[in-house]
Amino acid sequence: MTETITKGQRKLPGNSAAKPMAGNCCNYAELSQLNQRGISFITIRRRGAAITRRLDALPANAWRRTRLDIPKRLHNNIRYVDEPTKLDDYVGTLRQIAVTGLGRERYTLFVCNNADITPRDLVIRYARRNGIEDGLGISVNFFHLDCLASTVRLNVDLDVALTVIANGCYRWLASKLKGFDKSKPKDLYRKFVETAGEVSLTPERITIHFDRRAHNPILREAALDTTTPPIPWLGNRRLEFTYQ
């Protein structure tokens, strides 16, 4: 039974779980070792000028077409050339799948040692891996997941849990704001959360009066305060938004 990993993972000796590898640290000699151990992989290689010229010179009938069934993806219709290739320091032959139509000007060159996977399934699997990387990038760049508060295990676990909760809150906020459902937390924070205003407190409610901002109409349309229940730790007061 083979195991499949994508670029960015390495199966370490004596450990059955694939562990993350940083960036592009997997060279062709290491890929050869993975192949000899029966581990299938998918990665991408650099586009050299010679490879690009050769692909440009291929006749139109050398390219095949397929469609990626990835929801909300803008570029689903792709063309590809599936061919064998040899690489320095790699023992044996690899599959190289040159793909165009992914929304980039230049070709994307996938290489793998799995002879059974279809080019369509290979691209879809790699696209999922990119989605995971994007999520990790947001956790590091905006929520500072790589700057944990302490080496104490309890605090580290708390930091990670709060990061997951915060990310979920931003995703909920994005789903409520028209036209911003795909926005990243950093953009939502800058346009909606980091907003000046005044807070007034009465026995019945908490009123937040937002200063004039270009995106206030979107917040008003979302009506985020209409469905909020009383807040127990604030004396069962209700939340109310007003706009200048």
**Does one domain contain both 165 and 123?**
no
Domain count, the chain: 3
Express each pLDDT in 58-82 by its tens digit.
999 999 999 887 766 777 788 999 9
Pair 67, 182 in one domain: no
* Pair (76, 12) in one structural domain: yes
Higher pLDDT, 131 or 242: 242
Same domain, yes or no: 50 and 91 = yes
Same domain flag for 184 and 169? yes
Based on the fold, state whether residues 49 and 107 are members of the same structural domain: yes
Please check whether residues 10 and 121 belong to one and the same domain. Answer: yes
Q: Are residues 76 and 113 in the same domain?
A: yes
Whole-structure pTM over 0.85, yes or no? no
Domain extent at residue 213: 195-243
Residues 121 and 168 in one domain: no
Does residue 30 sit in the same domain as residue 131?
yes
Residues 70 and 178 in one domain: no
| 230 in the same domain as 147 | no
Q: What's the farthest any 2 CA atoms get from each other in the chain?
A: 76
Q: Model confidence at 22, in pLDDT bands (50, 70, 90)?
A: very low
Q: How confident is the model at residue 148 (pLDDT cuts 50, 70, 90)?
A: low
Asked if pLDDT for residue 165 goes beyond 50, the answer is yes
